[in-house]
Amino acid sequence: MSSELKITEVKHRFNTEVLLSGEVDIYTSQMLKEKLYGILDDTKQDMLINCEGLTYIDSTGLGIFVGVLKKAKQYGKGIRISKLKENIKKLFLITGLDKLFVILD
């Protein structure tokens, strides 16, 4: 039962890494949105979203990733997404979002 979402921020020199673990769904996604938008506004850096511990995401969560990408572009910065589990990578493929993001292994 790791249904809650945990968000950990690690500041690197030229970018910020955000580690997600748990589930992003309609209940936890508001917290994700505030956190990611807040980090971008604070750091104005590139962001690496590490999804190693992310077990579940829905369209609400994917929509937030898209929003974060748009915001990053306004600052001239990029978003990379890493370590997606197979079930989540599948959702990026289905929705075509894999073409929008830089997705690392």
Partner 1 sequence: MAKKVEKIELALPFKAEYVSVARLTASGIAARMGFDIESVEDIKVALSEVCNKLVSAGSKSSDRYVIDFIIHSSKIEILINFEDRRLAGLFGTNGDELGISIIEALMDTFKVSTDDSNTLSMSKEIKGKI
Kindly state whether residue 2 participates in binding ligand ADP, applying the rule CB under 6 A: no
Measured in whole angstroms, the distance separating CA 105 from the mean position of its chain's CA atoms is: 14
Stretch near partner 1 under the rule CB under 8 A, chosen from 9-17, 20-28, 35-43, 70-78: 20-28
Site for ligand ADP in 83-102 (CB under 6 A): 95-97, 100
Q: Which of 21, 25, 53, 66 binds ligand ADP (CB under 6 A)?
A: 66
Asked whether position 21 contacts partner 1 by CB under 8 A, the answer is no
Q: What is the DSSP string of 18-58?
A: EEEEEEE-TTTHHHHHHHHHHHHHHH-SEEEEEEEEEEEE-
Q: Is 26 in the site for partner 1 (CB under 8 A)?
A: yes
Helix axes 59-74, 29-43, angle to 10 degrees: 10
Specify which residues 19 forms β-bridges with: 8, 50
Question: Which residues of the shown chain bind ligand ADP in the complex (CB under 6 A)?
Answer: 59, 63, 66, 95-97, 100
